[in-house]
Structure 1
């Protein structure tokens, strides 16, 4: 009887896993349109919402210094987890980065430099999409400084960043470059790699 119960429980667990996998596939198929640029923007929206939720958890008592530690421990995990879930590669990159993992490669640097030039002229840089020779596109969605961002990336001498927050940043990111940004200035960009094929909406993580 015990063996039978174990077998039944095992079958239920297996069935639940299979149902979960099918649900993920259905969710992914509903999300993606087969139009890489449209899909990339949807993915960025999902990533931004997820990271904003994590940021707000860290700042639930209004203390930006606690949010620094929270983001340090959670940001890359959230990005990597969602990338795996949707079967795509997503990065956040910046010319003046805080986390070395967000250092751009040569192509990303060139796009960011162009966006930064537009930002310096007071323009909001548009999204850009590059068609690569390996069958993929690389979609860039600019990250623009918002009021909340000033707490950790604003002008030091102006007092945008509190002393406790600055101390936490310097402790966790000794080579930090991501500060002295103004409101509405380019902070960096999201980069999404997707198949360039018309039918190539991102595959599931299976």
Structure 2
């Protein structure tokens, strides 16, 4: 089996995230990530979050998990972050599973991740990616707040183990930058099977710029 793209799920998640984030001025990243998580049918959606972080991404991922029937897990560093996170999500009418602890250690206990979002502002973000146990269908990995300096010093292949391979990656100047990779298991065929290309179109509501992502 492999990750299979569903444009219908992606579209529904995108619209629902727009509605859920309408009170937030900056939601373009959340909408795009939500559409991707739902479109790729994420069964185990994981993210990292810390106090003061933007909550809209979490809202988008919670919306996506609702459409896929999967789990949305957020890893936070301490109880203060947990309380702030839960309160913010409840205000948005959302809920997620929360794990308290060091992200790298917490990630070791999660098996079968197929959609992962990490914050490039964390010093250990590359180690978090390196220890993540990805699902047998492959996975989509997203680094948010990925500015040009971060991207220039980071290579996806450096964080993949022998059981995974990079199918494609892309950097998008959405929000503060998104670095996205589609990863397949080495024994899978998601990188070699030819299929009709699909596209995600996203318009940044602030700048009016249009971004098109090829699947």
For normalisation by structure 2, the TM-score amounts to 0.29
Larger RCO (CA under 8 A, 6+ residues apart): 1
Higher-helix-fraction structure: 1
For normalisation by structure 1, the TM-score amounts to 0.30
Query: Rg bigger for which structure?
Result: 1
